[in-house]
Each structure stands twice: as structure tokens, then as C-alpha cells.
Amino acid sequence: MYLKLAWRNIWRNKRRTLITLSSILFAVVCALFIESIERGSHDLTVENMTRFHTGYLQVQDFRFEDEPSLDNSFYYDPEFFGSIEENVEGIEFTVPRIDGFMLAAGEELTRPAMVLGILPGREQRLNGLVDRLVEGRFFNEGESTAVVSQGLASRLNVAVGDTLVLLGQGRFGMSAAGKYYISGIVKLPLREMDNQTIYLSISEAQWLLSAEGYITSLLITPESAAQVNILAEALSQIFEGTEYRVLTWREMMPELIEALEFDKAGTRMFMAILYVVIGFGIFGTILTMTLERLREFGILLSVGMKRMKLAAVVFIETLLISILGVLSGFGLGLFLIIYFNINPITIGGDGAEYMLDMGFDPILPTAIAPDIFFYQGSVVFLITLVISLYPSFKILRLNIIEAAKK
């Protein structure tokens, strides 16, 4: 009967309950959606950065981090690294790369470029590079053609079929110069990379840079992203006493982590404001409800209902509304998140430019992560719970005579 009392009280003023309910629902949906978009876009950025740029884990010469030059490249011993790939638990595959800065010249324009020597098959497996061709075709390993990123191609004003001259310095100051037929144009998701990357096959690049057999980095793809740290630990142990060193993507991109943290802090600020606003909204309806019912509370206490009991019944009322609100928020939130995960929001115009400048893709996919539901659900629920304490608190201190006069 107490539950009946609580339940009927909830529906006694439908409008008020619906207002409270929809405030909670709105809060939950907003919070879920915002956080899942943030998480989604961050994940995407990290994924792009790791897949195209650093990899989740990278093996380097121990001097390379301080002085990223070809002089600090290392010999890619197929036997040694092959056995590591075979024997270390959690490695899915490895991707060797050699990179160096050179000058790239087209017919009339010259630009600095990052020349990346790669194994197309491995890159394809890592980041689907071959599928990102917008024109022409990729080279096979050993072939002497170049694939140019779209941004750089347009800066150099070159196209498939044109010839590209690369000029620079190889290993140990050897001069490096080569002429390459452009076989393909590729669109890279990271603007900075798209504006300066030229792909050559790894053996071709090694030859060009006088670094036969050498690479600057070996990217290691773990079987799951969650294993990065464990794997890094294991590899560090293996590399102990050698000149190899393993770095995680977090160690390689501290600026990115910082930017993401900064972005997160902004979102958190916004959420805090959202919570406060909605919290006050809910408090307002609960407050009116309490004041309207003071007389009824007074009568119940007069006839002999214990304060704690009455406080509990009224608390259960708001509790039920909260649960209902949070659950329906989960429902709607999940629907929206799944929908926008399949059909990500694409930002156009100035917003897109801004995003690109910041190094992010102008699309906002949502992340479907249970911990977001758990976290945001708990926060909203906790807020309403605290608010729900108000009527109970009021009941515990209510002056019966005053209340019955109302």
C-alpha cells in the first residue's frame, strides 16, 4: 500500500511528473550524447593518428626520439624481428617504415615533403592505405613509382603520370636524389600528413636514402588496443641491453593527449553547467510538489504516520521518477548513439576547416561505450537522488500544526 501510495502520487500531477521526468531524460540523453560524441571523435583521432602516423607501439633506435634522423635508423633484421613477431604474445603484425624529409619538386613548384618507405601490403592491413587512393594505383613492393598525398599533389600541382624529383640527404650525409613517376594520389585523413607525404616502396626508399636494410621505425599492432601497455612492457624486457627501444602512442604524441585532455575539460565544464541547470529545474518541480502537499503531510503525521515512514514514501516517489527518467534516457540515448554511430554527423563549412586545422576529422562519430552509460547515468541519478532528499528532509522537520493550517 505504501508503494501504491507512492505510485499514485507520482501520477497525481501528471504534468509535473512529466516535466521532472523529461528534465531527467533530457539530462541523461544530453550527457550521454555529448560524451559519446566526444569519445567517438577522440577515438577516431587517436585511431587515425596511430594508424597513419605512429602506430600503437613503435620500435625505434634509442637515439631516434631525441634526434629523429636517418643516422639513427636501425638495421631491420628479418630473423630477429620475425621471431619477435612470432613469439611475443599479443602481436598481430608489424609494419616497417623508413622516413626522411626531402624536397619534392614538380614541374614548377618545390615543397618539403616527408618521404615514407613502406610495404604497401602491411600498410593496407594497418590502415587501408591502398583503399584511400583517389587516382591511379599503388606500387608493388620493389617498384619504383611514387604515390603522393592529395594535399601535397595539389601544392606541387602534379597529377598521376607526372614526374616528381626528390632531393635531400640520405644516411650519414650521403646526397639523395631521385626521379619518380607518380602512379597514384592518395587522400590521407590527417591534414598535416595529407599536405606533405610521399610514399615509396620500402626498398626503393632505402636505396634512395643510402640506407639499404635500414628502417627508422617498426610499428607494432597489438591484437587489441587494450594490450598496448602490457605489450610495451614485454618488449621493453626483450630489448633490454639492445639499442632498440619501444614507445607507446601516448609517449609519442604527448601534444595530442594534451589537446584531447583540454577538449575533455571543456566538455566537462559544459556538462557541469548542464547538470546545474537541470538540477535546479528538477529541484523547482520537487519544491512545488513539496509545498503543495505540506497539509497532506501534516495530516498524515497527525493521524499517526511516522515521519521516517512518510519521508521514505515520498523519497520512493522521486526515486521512481528518477529511475524511470534515467532508464528512458538510456533508451533514447542508446537509440541516438547507435543511429549517429551508423550515420555520423558531418560538419561542413567553417566548422570543418576549424576541425581540420585542429587535426581532427570533420566527422563526429559516436562511441558506443557502456562505461559512458554507467558514468552519466550514475551522475544524473545521484543528482536527482540528492534533490529527492529535500522533501524527506522537509518532512522530518515539519511542524505539524503549521502544516495542517495550510
Partner 1 sequence: MAILQTKNLSKVYNPDTVPVHALRDVSITIDKGEFTSIVGPSGSGKTTLLNMLGGLDKPTSGSVWVNGEEITSMKESKLIDFRLHNIGFVFQHYNLIPVFTAHENVSFIMLLQNRSKKEIRERADDLLEQVGLGDRKNARPVQMSGGQQQRVAVARALASEPKFILADEPTANLDSTSAMNLLDIMNKMNREQNVTFVFSTHDQRVIDRARRVITMVDGAIHKDEYRDVEETAEN
Min dist CB 339 to partner 1, Å, is 39
Residue from the set 134, 269, 299, 358 that interacts with partner 1 by CB under 8 A: 299
Query: Does the footprint of partner 1 cover residue 342 (CB under 8 A)?
Result: no
Number of C-alpha atoms within 13 angstroms, CB side, residue 344? 17
- All three cell numbers of 373: 552509460
Please identify which residue in 306, 331, 358, 371 interacts with partner 1, judged by CB under 8 A.
Answer: 306
CB 373 within 8 A of CB 333: yes
- Interaction mask 385-404, partner 1, x per CB under 8 A: ---------------xx--x
Residue of 255, 227, 219, 233 whose CA lies nearest to 45: 255
How many residues of this chain interact with partner 1, rule: CB under 8 A? 21
Distance from C-alpha of 388 to C-alpha of 398, rounded to nearest angstrom? 16
> Which range binds partner 1 by CB under 8 A, 254-262, 278-286, 306-314, 369-377?
306-314
Q: What is the DSSP letter of 50?
A: I
Question: Treating both helix axes as pointing N-terminal to C-terminal, what angle do 254-292 and 370-397 enclose, rounded to 10 degrees?
Answer: 30
Instruction: Look at the block and give the residue holding cell 589537446.
Output: 259
Which residues inside 61-90 make contact with partner 1, applying CB under 8 A?
A: none
- Near partner 1 in 4-23, by CB under 8 A: 4-5, 8-9, 12
Residue of the chain from 95, 271, 300, 326 that contacts partner 1 (CB under 8 A): 300
Least CB distance from residue 41 to partner 1, whole Å?
48
Q: Shortest distance, CB of residue 290 to partner 1, whole angstroms? A: 15
Total Cβ atoms within 10 A of residue 340:
17
Is there binding between residue 3 and partner 1 (CB under 8 A)?
no
Report the nearest approach of partner 1 to the CB of residue 397 (Å): 11
The position carrying cell 634512395 is 208
Q: Are 221 and 92 in contact (CB under 8 A)?
A: yes
The CA dihedral of 239, 240, 246, 251, to the nearest 10 degrees, is: 170
Length of the chain (residues): 406
Near partner 1 by CB under 8 A, which window of 165-173, 238-246, 281-289, 303-311?
Answer: 303-311
Residue ranges in contact with partner 1 by CB under 8 A: 1, 4-5, 8-9, 12, 295-296, 299-307, 309, 400-401, 404
